A and B are shown apart, each in its own frame.
Chain A
Amino acid sequence: DSGVTQTPKHLITATGQRVTLRCSPRSGDLSVYWYQQSLDQGLQFLIQYYNGEERAKGNILERFSAQQFPDLHSELNLSSLELGDSALYFCASSVGAEVGYEQFFGPGTRLTVL
């Protein structure tokens, strides 16, 4: 158990809908990351937050957005869902934001878009 929690574990929805994925980092970690794992794209970095501020952006679609709240939990919002958004979404956390900090991964949220 990494100490990172993600809810829900599974999510099934329809095209065009909007969903919110939630992540609680390990106690003491200030940085949160979101990754997407799909058959087409593999494991891809989406976005990073550090202590409430956006720190880095990867290949995140405009239909996707995220935020980190004062209690450090983070939410990833996916809107206007398409079939291709079906994937496993991981959240990770680390103590710091700079290069080299070990990232601890949550169990993931499996999103299925029908």
Chain B
Amino acid sequence: AQKVTQAQTEISVVEKEDVTLDCVYETRDTTYYLFWYKQPPSGELVFLIRRNSFDEQNEISGRYSWNFQKSTSSFNFTITASQVVDSAVYFCALDGGATNKLIFGTGTLLAVQP
């Protein structure tokens, strides 16, 4: 069975702190994709990153970075120098198997205090 676990329900940090959001996944597929989405208070889901199972290179995009480790089935997301605008719920998702349906984790609510 496929599963995504985001053990951190809520994280609160002060602006400019670095924060890491954890994501652990389970799948028997050899080809799969991992995603991160952001859901700000306005409610829409905003795509952040996609990573396939054959590419374990870490990725950095501005203040965002992602660490994919197949050995521990983890795909963690770090925000450097957090800002108030980063406050949102962040979802990790898994896409595998024959169809393109996303399995979401329960999300992590990040609150960045000024």
Interface residues of A (CB under 8 A from B): 2, 31, 33, 35, 42-45, 48, 55-56, 58, 88, 90, 92, 94, 96-108, 110
Q: Is the CB of A99 within 8 A of B45?
A: no
CA distance A55 to B97 in the complex (A): 13
Please give, as numbers and ranges, the residues of chain B lying within 8 Å of A101 by CB-CB distance.
100
Give the chain A neighbours of B47 by CB distance below 8 A.
102-105
Bound-state CA distance A96–B47 (Å) is 17
Within 8 Å of chain A (Cβ to Cβ): is B101? yes
CA A94 to CA B95, docked complex, whole Å: 13
Q: Is B88 an interface residue (CB 8 A)?
A: no
Query: In chain B between 45 and 61, which residues have their CB closer than 8 angstroms to a CB of chain A?
Result: 45-47, 50, 52
Q: Are A96 and B43 in contact (CB under 8 A)?
A: no
A35 to B105, CA, bound (A): 13
Tell me if B98 counts as interface (CB < 8 A to partner A): yes
Residues of A within 8 A of B31 (CB): 99-100
Q: Does B104 contact A (CB under 8 A)?
A: yes
Is B106 a contact partner of A99 (Cβ separation < 8 A)? no
B96 partner residues in chain A, CB cutoff 8 A: 99
Interface: B64 (CB within 8 A): no
User: Contacts A42-B106, A42-B107, A43-B91 hold; do A99 and B100 have CB atoms under 8 A apart?
Assistant: yes
Contacts A99-B31, A105-B44, A105-B45 known; A56 to B99 CB distance under 8 Å? yes
CB neighbours of A2 from chain B (8 A): 44
Nearest CB to that of A101 among chain B residues? B100
CB of B114, distance to nearest CB on chain A (Å): 27
Instruction: Report which of A48, A90, A94, A100 forms a contact with B45, defined as CB distance below 8 A.
Output: A90
A56 to B99 CA separation, bound complex (whole angstroms)? 7
CB distance from B41 to the nearest CB of A (A): 13
**Cross-chain contact of A100 among B43, B100, B106 (Cβ < 8 A):** B100
Query: Is B19 close to A, CB under 8 A?
Result: no
Whether A99 lies near B99 (C-beta < 8 A) is yes
Most A CB within 10 A of own CB, among B43, B44, B45, B97:
B45
| Cβ–Cβ < 8 Å partners of A96 in chain B | 100
CB distance from A107 to the nearest CB of B (A): 5
Smallest Cβ-Cβ distance to A45: which chain B residue:
B101
